[in-house]
Amino acid sequence: MTRIFQYLSAILGRSTDEGVEDMVLLSKVTDDQITDNLKKRIQADLMFTYIVNPFKKLPYFTDKEIETYHGSAAYEHPPHIYALADKMFQNMIVDEENQCVIISGESGAGKTESAKLIMNYIAAVSSRGSGTTAGLVDEIKRIILGSNPLLESFGNAKTLRNNNSSRFGKYFEINFSKNGSPMGGKISNFLLEKSRVVGPSKGERNFHIFYQMTTAASATEKEQLGMMEPKYFHYLNTSGEYHADGINDVEEFNGMKAAMDVCQISVADKHAILGLVAAILHIGNIDFVEGEQPGTAVIRDVQTLEFPAYLLGVSVEMLQGSLLSRVMRTGGIGSKRASMYNVPLNVEQAQNTRDALSKALYSRVFDWVVQAVNRAMADLAKNMIRNNQILCLGVLDIFGFEIFDKNGFEQFCINYVNERLQQIFIELTLKSEQEEYQREGIKWTPIDYFNNKIVVELIESKKPPGVMAILDDVCFTMHAVTEGADQKFVQKLEGAVRGHKHYQGTQSQFVIHHYAGSVTYDCDGFTESNKDTLFKDLIQLMQTTSSQFIRNLFPEEVDDSDKKRPTTVSFKIKNQSQELVDTLMRSTPSYVRCIKPNETKRAKDWDSKRVEHQVRYLNLKENIKVRQVYMRCY
């Protein structure tokens, strides 16, 4: 054992009732020992171990801590997320290499808070610039930090597991000059949970912004937007949950508005955004019943059309027509004999059309908000004196692996992205470091680990076709058909991948044995969710609005020929995931593994079984053992 290892063992590995600070220095590395060490530390209010969500605020994040960890070696002080942030920042400046941090863990484990702490630290220690650039640098820092309340209002919600759960993924890249001055940045967002807009589950809430507006809007705003109590709106009352512990909707609404100012969103655009959010709530109150003609829907109360039509800037008649009928065509895609005709919708189809419009409006305004933040940073960066080399530090905050009682298409997509991120971790740590030991002739006992490449290929492979390829094929061949499409998908999936050791199928479900556990996916709605179709009638309706803001959200040219193969959600996610992986692989990665100690969301509660499960699937034992070899040899 080297002197360095002995020295670090003395500092960080001393055995106390509070556990060891660096688990590389555990004398015995097992899942039980890791779990026990984490328990000792969290019970002593020591949340960092070189992250377990303590479910309470701890006094570790003042200017004093920032000063303590800035420029210091990791072993000089107790473990802290500021130590990791400082290491990344210093390595970026000294080595002139891009850095990224991948924050992973279950929903409610503390990923978003960890990301915010890293961003706060980087903003605090980075250079202010000099001369005329100093003020611009400060403005960029304000946007980097100030955008959080805005993004959380539109992208976060209360779930059963987390009162402030991020329902989207984001990768925040901050650009720096060679001397460490921020010079702009960019947010990339992934997989907004659009289905929440039209139907949060029992005991959960919709996105925070809806409750902020119904609760905290001024009397004038409420009158202009038709705001009532949350229970008045169908999209909010179906879950029966209107409040979230630790979330003050009035304060958050004021913070969101202040964030709009920081991000330079104009007064006109603010009004347009809030008007659109209100319109979505009113659209949800449009109800349908069976008409005189069997199989056709009519609107229960035509007065419910008036306010959403007013807020959308369209006529009541046009909105009504778009919700009750659809333009269809005979002949297949690209057929020369295709002709168009109007088809009335039944009640279920009309409800689906209403909800599709609401989801499209919300997702597009969310994308607009993200781009507004990016534009604000880009506009400032244009005014700065750029040198030739721009360095980048990225923070990935993405939804954790999800296993619920009922898992649908969105859980499938989320878990696929997590599989891709786990693949990066394996490739850059467990696999590559052991290969390096082998190349250098270091004697060590090879450490076995589960390589999830086989699961990723099961999901995304083209040849032989994996789950996504089969799903896309069914969606393409049955693009105009809803009934029977999910069953067709199950049948084709069973025929193609039956016998794969990480797959099991039934008549209406399939199981994938993921790295984090086995998940049963209910196929009901899979094909419709993957199509994510917004019918041309609705796009054209939004393009005729008197609102310039809404027209800008629907810039696409409607192709009446239908020659193009529709782009599916799984196709988009696969491409987005690959772009994200490529970006991360061009940077030097750091990792934050967040551990959730319980499901009660109460401080000091500890569920050893739940923690050990996370320890196991996050490969903590294997990673610690690989690091031990490194420390003993270098």
User: From CA 136, how far away is CA 149, in angstroms rounded?
Assistant: 21
107: annotated active-site residue = yes
User: From CA 242, how far away is CA 158, in angstroms rounded?
Assistant: 10
Q: Are 281 and 290 in contact (CB under 8 A)?
A: no
DSSP 157: E
User: From CA 327, how far away is CA 323, in angstroms rounded?
Assistant: 11
User: From CA 471, how far away is CA 458, in angstroms rounded?
Assistant: 13
Q: One of 65, 113, 402, 460 is an active-site residue; which one?
A: 402
Residue 594 has a CB neighbour count (10 Å cut-off) of 22
DSSP H or E run through 602:
none
Residue 236 has a CB neighbour count (10 Å cut-off) of 22
User: From CA 182, how far away is CA 140, in angstroms rounded?
Assistant: 7
2: annotated active-site residue = no
Contacts of 23 (CB under 8 A, 6+ apart): 29, 34, 37, 49, 50, 620, 624
Report the predicted TM-score, pTM, of the whole model to 2 decimal places: 0.88
- What pLDDT shows up at residue 7? 38
517: annotated active-site residue = no
How many Cα neighbours within 13 Å face the side chain of 375?
11
362-402 pLDDT, tens digit per residue, is: 999 999 999 999 999 988 777 665 555 689 999 999 888 88
In the predicted structure, residue 186 carries a pLDDT above the cut 90: yes
402: annotated active-site residue = yes
Q: One of 19, 146, 255, 400 is an active-site residue; which one?
A: 400
Q: Are 78 and 46 in contact (CB under 8 A)?
A: yes
Q: One of 98, 162, 163, 214 is an active-site residue; which one?
A: 162
- What pLDDT shows up at residue 564? 62
CA pseudo-torsion sign 80, 396, 609, 623: negative
Q: Which three-class secondary structure state does DSSP give residue 392?
A: strand
Token digits of residue 304: 């419910």
Q: One of 35, 49, 98, 107 is an active-site residue; which one?
A: 107
- Give the pLDDT band (50/70/90) at residue 18: confident
Share of the chain residues as helix, strand and coil, in percent rounded to the nearest 5: 50, 10, 35
Q: One of 35, 53, 104, 166 is an active-site residue; which one?
A: 166
Q: Among 16-30, 117-131, 479-493, which is the least confidently predicted range?
A: 16-30
**Helix extents (H) in 126-248:** 133-155, 195-198, 208-216, 219-225, 234-237
300-311 pLDDT, tens digit per residue, is: 999 999 999 999
Delineate the domains of the chain, giving CATH numbers in brackets: 425-532+568-579 (1.20.58.530)
Q: Which residues line the annotated binding site for ATP? A: 105-112
What are the distances in angstroms from CA 382 to CA 137, 175, 377, 596?
12, 13, 9, 42
What's the length of the chain?
Answer: 634
Token digits of residue 46: 């020591």
Q: Are 322 and 342 in contact (CB under 8 A)?
A: no
108: annotated active-site residue = yes
Q: Which residues line the annotated binding site? A: 105-112
Q: Provide mean pLDDT across the span 439-465.
A: 86
- What pLDDT shows up at residue 29? 79
165: annotated active-site residue = yes
Q: One of 37, 49, 98, 112 is an active-site residue; which one?
A: 112
Contacts of 617 (CB under 8 A, 6+ apart): 401, 515, 516, 517
Token digits of residue 487: 């069953």
In the predicted structure, residue 456 carries a pLDDT above the cut 80: yes
Q: Are 544 and 314 in contact (CB under 8 A)?
A: yes
- What pLDDT shows up at residue 361? 98
